[in-house]
Amino acid sequence: MIQDEIILKEKKIPIKIIFKKIKNVYFRFDDNGFLVVSASISLSLKKIKKLIIENEDAIYKLYLKKEKKKDEEGIIRLLGLKYKLEVSEDFKQVLFSDGSIKTPSINALNDYLKKITHQVFIEETEKIKRIMPNIPNFSLKIRKMKTRWGVCNYVKNTVTLNSELIKYQREIIDYVIIHELSHFTYHNHSKEFWDYVKIYFPDYKKARKELRR
């Protein structure tokens, strides 16, 4: 292993180079802020640094993503707001105080968030059902998903919402609900579909952008 440093976007980044019996070069950031480079034993330090510079934009995005994750450790996002997490057995229940969420345990917090998520999602869904026509009776499901914010199964009449949506403000949650309910009318993402979504959520492009951040 070799330790060195390199300048990316005018920022000095420490690097660790680990040589392995591999063909490709892989980049990642560890918890100590090092850019860890896994590279073939046949590559020289000069060649590896050249590859880093050639991939500067992509690597810097990895760096920013890691820094953002670090900044949000100990932070709970709920309905568009951020709260500092405080865990102590001295707290008898989950409560909000001075920009913090105080909880006796993580399990108690998770139970609280699950309850709030179901309550908010049901409230917003019922609200939107009252303004959108031709919505069939459907079952609302809530679960954590890795790649999708919502799923409409128009054959089985089910709508599934990603529990992670509770981190966003209600208008973003509304957009996802409107998006999924629109699939009962249009089963794809055609121009007609987006025109239909726009009727009930005119600023849908802004909401989509927010969900990509």
Q: What is the CATH number of the domain that holds 140?
A: 3.30.2010.10
Q: Residue 6 has what pLDDT?
A: 84
**Is pLDDT of 17 > 90?**
yes
Model pTM?
A: 0.70
Among 71, 95, 124, identify where a domain stops. Answer: 71
Instruction: Provide the residue range defining the domain that includes 85.
Output: 75-108
Is residue 62 located within the same domain as residue 11?
yes
pLDDT at 78 over 60: yes
Whole-angstrom Cα distance, residue 166 to residue 172?
9
* Whole-number Å distance between alpha carbons of 69 and 66: 5
Question: Sign of the CA dihedral 124, 127, 129, 133?
Answer: negative
Scan for tokens 């303004």, then name that residue. Answer: 131
Q: Are residues 18 and 100 in the same domain?
A: no
CA gap 116, 81 in Å, rounded: 14
Q: What are phi and psi of 185, to 5 degrees?
A: -95, -45
Q: What is the pLDDT of residues 122-151, one digit of tens each?
A: 999 999 999 999 899 999 999 999 999 999
Q: Look at residues 71, 107, 112, 110 and name the one whose alpha carbon lies nearest to residue 89.
A: 107
